Amino acid sequence: MNLTLVSTFIIGTMLLLAIVKINLNLAENSMDSMSDQQAKMQVDVIAGVVGYDLRKMGYRVEADNIVEATPTKLTFRGDLEDNGSIDEISWEVHQTTEVTETPNHNDFLVTRTVNGDVTQIKLGEVKFEFSYYNAGMEPTSVLDEIRSVRVKVVTESTQPIAGKYMSAAWEKVFTPSNI
């Protein structure tokens, strides 16, 4: 056999393996990026709806704006649709209710209830909590003293990539002028 032919075959094989490795790395990075983007979109959806609701807290309500305020549940009243009708809105975290539609064992159910109509939110929430503050931004649990609400949300992608879930977080303090 010709030594040149053998060495050309070996070099060609090494180049081909390098190209395959680069292609696999690009595909893995692309899947990571897509999974990361999914987690970010999920938290953006939740942030949008929570933000809309909390800005309407106490809007056009004379008294008893906040009905219930715990770390896992917030119920309040306000004119959600700006139509003169007072709505009761509730956000509740069901940390013991696992979402069976995803393989992620860390995510749980969150519900949004408006006037008795329940919407289940299954967007990979692994953390969802409320904190309440008085006018001096000191923590409080007294309903009449609450002037600000902090919401923390962490979501994870619904599908793992290489055995790991990508996550995204959002946190905001709301100080509605109507409470």
Q: What is the pLDDT of residues 28-51, one digit of tens each?
A: 787 778 888 888 999 999 999 999
Mean pLDDT of 84-107: 93
At 20 the pLDDT is 87
Other beta carbons within 10 angstroms of residue 92's beta carbon come to: 17
Which pLDDT band, with edges at 50, 70 and 90, does 88 fall under? Answer: very high
pLDDT confidence of residue 1: 62
pLDDT band at 143 (very low <50, low <70, confident <90, very high): very high
Does residue 79 sit in helix, strand or coil? coil
CA angle 36, 110, 118 (to 5 degrees): 130
pLDDT above 70 for 22: yes
What mean pLDDT comes out for the span 131-153? 97
Indicate if the pLDDT at residue 2 is higher than 90. no
Mean model confidence pLDDT for the chain: 92
Burial of 48 (0-12, 13-18, 19+ CB in 10 A): exposed
| Of the candidates 173, 118, 128, 174, the residue with the CA atom closest to the CA atom of residue 155 | 128
Phi, then psi, of 173 in degrees rounded to 5: -105, 125
Q: How far is it, in rounded angstroms, from Cα 43 to Cα 34?
A: 14
Q: Would you state the pLDDT for residue 142?
A: 96
Comparing 102-116, 124-138, 150-164, which segment has the lowest mean pLDDT? 150-164
Is residue 107 pLDDT above 70, yes or no?
A: yes
Average pLDDT, integer, range 82-108:
93
What's the token pair of residue 136? 């001096």
Given a cut of 90, is residue 81 above it in pLDDT? yes
Instruction: Flag whether the pTM goes above 0.95.
Output: no
